[in-house]
Amino acid sequence: MLDRLPREVIAMRVARELKDGDIVNLGLGIPSLCSQYVPEGRTILYHSESGVLNYGPMAEQGEEDDDLINASGQFLEPTPGMSFFHSADAFGMIRGGHIDVTVLGALQVSEKGDLSNWMLPSRGIGNVGGAMDLAVGAKRVIVAMEHKGRHGEPKVVSECSFPLTSPTCVSLIVTDIAVISVEQEGLILRETAPGWRLEDIQNETEPELIPANDLKEIEI
């Protein structure tokens, strides 16, 4: 059985996509880990829809302040040059195209880059939160997730069967077995986890994957 990449390595791979000076908003789960792995020498300013830009790492125990949280409710350290704003401005930044990259989790991503990440149909009710705004507003949407669901079902699908967050918004999918870019011609398999071949990944993927000319193993 082939090894799947741990969550930290998915985050590490995504972090390499973040460029010096980028304004980045990280979603819950694997995305939230990315900030720990940004290559040295790059300054990233993190934005949270809780109303803060340029926040620091998670607060140490005993240093927590409930007036300084991220969108996941985690306590943050202050940083020099951090700024605060209310929710209408926080989302003006998002919707207005001022966020360079958002990294989001997903329940399903389609061949066309449609994203479903806010409601499990089996539950019949869900939390939309800021996901739709981020999916529509950020200049680049990267999905970081496990390649298949808890019951082995594919999450990279031909058509999303779950309620959409936004159509055609995802540009890159980074999973525990592959890096896939969403292009006009379809899903391009760019990188594979060590030992995984195209057909292994295709087996866990509903739409057809097109191997990149320079298909390679993920390098971290």
Binding site for another protein (CB under 8 A): 20-21, 23, 28, 43, 45, 47-54, 61, 64-69, 71, 73, 75, 78-88, 90-99, 120, 122-123, 125-133, 136-137, 163-167
**What is the three-class DSSP state of 199?**
helix
Q: Which is nearer to another protein, 120 or 220 (CB)?
A: 120
Minimum Å distance from CB 108 to another protein? 13
Beta bridge partners of 140: 101
Cβ atoms of 119 and 162 closer than 8 Å: yes
**What is the three-class DSSP state of 219?**
coil
Residue 24 is encoded by which pair of tokens?
């980045």
Q: Which is nearer to another protein, 78 or 186 (CB)?
A: 78
Sheet with strand 209-217: strands edge to edge = 83-84, 52-53, 45-48, 23-26, 101-104, 140-144, 170-174, 178-183, 186-192, 209-217
Tally of CA atoms within 13 A in the half-sphere of 176 that contains its CB: 17
Q: CA 104, CA 116: separation in Å to the nearest integer? A: 10
Q: CA 146, CA 86: separation in Å to the nearest integer? A: 33
Minimum Å distance from CB 146 to another protein? 17
Instruction: Out of 8, 17, 49, 64, pick the active-site residue.
Output: 49
Q: CA 193, CA 157: separation in Å to the nearest integer? A: 20
Q: Which is nearer to another protein, 9 or 28 (CB)?
A: 28
Minimum Å distance from CB 118 to another protein? 9
Minimum Å distance from CB 127 to another protein? 4
Minimum Å distance from CB 211 to another protein? 30
Decide if 49 is catalytic. Answer: yes
Using the structure block, give the residue that is written with the tokens 């389609």: 110
Cβ contacts of 205 within 8 Å, gap of 6 or more? 147, 154, 156, 178, 187
Q: Catalytic site residues?
A: 49
